[in-house]
Amino acid sequence: MSLLLRNGTVVLADKTFAADVLIEGEFVSEVRAGIPENAAERVIDASGMLLLPGGIDVHTHMDMPFGGTTSSDDFLTGTRAAAFGGTTTIVDFAIQARGTRMRDALDTWWGKAEGKACIDYGLHMIVTDLGTSGLEDMDDLVREGVASFKLFMAYPNVLMVDDGTIFKALSQTSKNGALVCMHAENGGAIDVIVQRTLAEGKTAPIYHALSRPVTAEAEAVHRAIALAEMAHAPVYIVHLSSEAALNQVREARDRGLPAFAETCPHYLLLSIDEMDRPNFEGAKYVLTPPLREKENLPKLWDGLKHDHLQVVSTDHCPFCFADQKVLGKDDFTKIPNGGPGVENRLQLIYHHGVNQGKLSLNRFVELVATSPARIFGMYPKKGTIAPGSDADIVIWDPEAELTIGVATHHMRVDYSMFEGFQVKGNTRQVISRGEVIVDGGKFLGKPGRGNYLRRAARGGAWK
């Protein structure tokens, strides 16, 4: 099947130009003005539309066990929702259970995605235990296209690993070319504050945020970067939430270190004030690191603009308010951590970034598609519109208006952190490997059509 997108404006990370895009099968074959209408079996008129590389969200948690429950979107509902919002690739996290091989976790997560994923997906591996064979297992996983590993400096006794383990993992990636992704918060100190807080009878959702200070994040970011420097390895800080943490990344980059970081729409647009909502509604915003004081928000936008931050991901980790968040009604530590977002990333960042003059159109594309593709070993298959690339293309209507919320979203979750946010700019059609999977608000893709992506090590992280 061939498909011609005519009269659109192609937006890439480094340029914007009027062009037609010819797609043959799953790939882009030509990008230029004046491709004749009879060049393809199907023609879509893209006049007035922007043609963007499909969005890449490198931080999602579909069907993820957490605190006795499981995130409410699985690979079907979550990737379908992602597609509605213009994301055509996700990289999700498999979790090594302590005392087991990473390979088992990879098989488990392939099983979760099998027959369900509606868009292409890659996997990071969360390392909880190096045991005796963990370093060789990491090499084995890199050969399977798992080119990144997440390690936790928080959640003692569950996911947290010590500095020696982090240093060993970083040293291994300096050889095998994978990228270590760090959840950077000082889990030991936080745990002491949490216990003190509970002992004082403070159990409401807001205390989740108050027991995880900014300094605990900044210290851990500093330590993660120092360990990476000693190991001669790059490092990527996930879900960075505060100015203090950002300063650590900026300082490292200014010294020429290969330190990278992402932030998420909720840290850019919401503050700790949300957590004071009555009737336990603050629980909707319990995620980690927590929402911060609003003074941080413009600093993060500035970090995106000046490349101190390289990626916007969502950390999509939804739990329903009615029957999951409520598990922590009497104790904030039992509220499952995480919030929904995979569907609304492009809409929110386009509206609040591009429309409001904080980001150029090209920087927007770089943050939501090109830079994640490069850093995580998917470029130029993903993250651009060029001959030979996968035909993952969003036909973006810059004039389309949307009110974000449960009434309009497709994520399997009973609330939105952005309920009532009005945005301008939304998908009209979404194309994944040459197939129109979303058209005018209808989903046309088949569950299971998404392919597992074998990602390359050294995916541009050194450039």
CB 197 within 8 A of CB 166: no
Environment class of 18 (CB within 10 Å of its CB; exposed 0-12, middle 13-18, buried 19+): exposed
Q: Which does 337 bind (CB under 5 to 8 A by kind): ligand URP, Zn ion, none?
A: ligand URP
Min CB(55)–ligand URP separation in Å: 19
What's the angle, vertex CA 263, arms to CA 262 and CA 268, rounded to 5? 155
155-175 as b/e: b if 16+ CB within 10 A: beeebbbeeebbbbbbbbbbe
Which C-beta is closer to ligand URP: that of 314 or that of 371?
314
Q: Provide the residue type at 200 as one letter.
A: E
Which C-beta is closer to ligand URP: that of 332 or that of 364?
332
Those residues with Cβ within 8 angstroms of residue 427's Cβ, 6 or more apart along the chain or in another chain? 84, 85, 86, 346, 394, 395, 396, 397, 400, 438
Q: Which does 435 bind (CB under 5 to 8 A by kind): ligand URP, Zn ion, none?
A: none
Q: Which does 51 bind (CB under 5 to 8 A by kind): ligand URP, Zn ion, none?
A: none
Query: Is 315 among the residues that bind ligand URP (CB under 6 A)?
Result: yes
Min CB(36)–ligand URP separation in Å: 48
Query: Is 91 among the residues that bind ligand URP (CB under 6 A)?
Result: no
Residues 416 and 31: their CA atoms lie apart, in Å, by 38
Min CB(144)–ligand URP separation in Å: 22
Which C-beta is closer to ligand URP: that of 211 or that of 288?
288
Which C-beta is closer to ligand URP: that of 227 or that of 240?
240
Query: Is 287 among the residues that bind ligand URP (CB under 6 A)?
Result: yes
Looking at residues 6 to 25 of the shown chain, list those that interact with ligand URP (rule: CB under 6 A). none
Min CB(378)–ligand URP separation in Å: 20
Q: Which does 287 bind (CB under 5 to 8 A by kind): Zn ion, ligand URP, none?
A: ligand URP
Residue in the shown chain whose Cβ atom is closest to Zn ion: 183
Which C-beta is closer to Zn ion: that of 120 or that of 315?
315
Closest residue by Cα to residue 460 from 262, 342, 310, 338: 310
Min CB(287)–ligand URP separation in Å: 4
How many residues touch ligand URP (CB under 6 A)? 9
Those residues with Cβ within 8 angstroms of residue 175's Cβ, 6 or more apart along the chain or in another chain? none
Chain Cα centroid distance, residue 422: 22
Binds ligand URP by CB under 6 A, chosen from 53, 187, 338, 459: 338
Distances (CA, A) of 348 to 200, 264, 320, 341: 38, 10, 21, 10
Binds ligand URP by CB under 6 A, chosen from 96, 288, 313, 432: 288
Min CB(62)–ligand URP separation in Å: 12
Closest residue by Cα to residue 174 from 210, 145, 149, 208: 149
β-bridge pairing 65-66 and 69-70: antiparallel
Min CB(11)–ligand URP separation in Å: 30
Which C-beta is closer to ligand URP: that of 65 or that of 298?
65
Min CB(257)–ligand URP separation in Å: 23
Residues 17 and 8: their CA atoms lie apart, in Å, by 9
Query: Is 112 among the residues that bind ligand URP (CB under 6 A)?
Result: no
Report the residue count for the chain: 463
Q: Provide the residue type at 227 as one letter.
A: L
Binds ligand URP by CB under 6 A, chosen from 313, 337, 389, 426: 337
Query: Is 61 among the residues that bind ligand URP (CB under 6 A)?
Result: yes
Looking at residues 203 to 242 of the shown chain, list those that interact with ligand URP (rule: CB under 6 A). 239
CB 122 within 8 A of CB 145: yes
Binds ligand URP by CB under 6 A, chosen from 317, 348, 354, 402: 317
Query: Is 183 among the residues that bind ligand URP (CB under 6 A)?
Result: yes
Min CB(379)–ligand URP separation in Å: 24
Which C-beta is closer to ligand URP: that of 228 or that of 317?
317
Min CB(274)–ligand URP separation in Å: 14
The residues of the shown chain that bind Zn ion, judged by CB under 5 A, are: 183, 315
Q: Which residues bind ligand URP (CB under 6 A)?
A: 61, 183, 239, 287-288, 315, 317, 337-338
